[in-house]
Amino acid sequence: MNKKVKNKEIIDHYKKLVEFLGKVLGENYEVILHIIEKGNSYVGAIANNHISGRTVNAPLTGLALKMMKDKTFLDNDYITNYKGVTKLGGEIRGSTHFIKDENKELIGMLCINFDSSKHKKIAIDIMDLVQTQLNMISPALDETSISKKEKIIEQPDHEFIEYFSDSIDEVVKSIVDPSLLNPNIILRQEQKIEIIKQLHKKGIFQLKGAVSQVAELLNISEPSIYRYLKIIDKDKK
């Protein structure tokens, strides 16, 4: 069995797993399969997509691209419990399992995102109730003698923060300062190269169609993008 056929069988298995986990875990859990192909990475399957609003064939997030670019998968089989932010500002907790072939090359990522907003609201409501009851019993009770509601929902700092996007434009805007993408602003060549450098560092050009989209956003030609990438690679060497 050749490598391409074998990898397809692995991906097909995970597609079924996405549907299964989506039903078992329930509506508060979004399950996504990212398919990684040379020059084209995208969402191949998704369950409970109301959480992030993404769909099949949507581009990878900036975090997913960064993990690919940094080859995080070489030293890790998975990354757990990182913060995610939806387009509407909702907070979730994400975990990613790296899918590798027999040569340890990355061919996909299985991600599970937990929408904790309902649980946080319940926690806040309970602490409000407890605070009210304590004040009724002893109004003079010092607030330091009880746990503040913020401490109940406080989350530790995490290295990874994922911003969910459904288009390459949104992925780019999550990486680049939106003010620099204003069509009325004329950027210097140095600024354009710096923007391309940041996008290259995040792995944005691993997405299909990214070069043409970025060229349009920066109001420059596609050959210019490739020229800047050559400059960046030359400087790196």
Are residues 93 and 197 located together in one domain of the fold? Answer: no
Residue 165 pLDDT > 60: yes
Are residues 198 and 105 located together in one domain of the fold? Answer: no
Average pLDDT over the chain reads 81
- String of DSSP letters for 57-99: TPBPPHHHHHHHHTTGGGT-SEEEEEEEE-TTS-EEEEEEEEE
Last residue of a domain, one of 163, 190, 218: 163
66-70, 73-77, 93-97, 114-118: least confidently modelled range: 114-118
Residue at 204 is within a domain: yes
Residue at 44 is within a domain: yes
Q: What is the pLDDT of residue 90?
A: 75
Residue at 50 is within a domain: yes
Q: What is the pLDDT of residue 144?
A: 45
CATH number at residue 9: 3.30.450
Summarised one tens digit per residue, pLDDT across range 112-144 is 999 877 666 666 667 766 666 666 555 544 444
Are residues 173 and 113 located together in one domain of the fold? Answer: no
Residue at 185 is within a domain: yes
Its domain, for residue 214, covers: 168-236
Tell me how many domains the chain contains. 2
Residue 213 pLDDT > 60: yes
Residue at 128 is within a domain: no
Summarised one tens digit per residue, pLDDT across range 202-211 is 888 878 788 8
pTM: 0.62
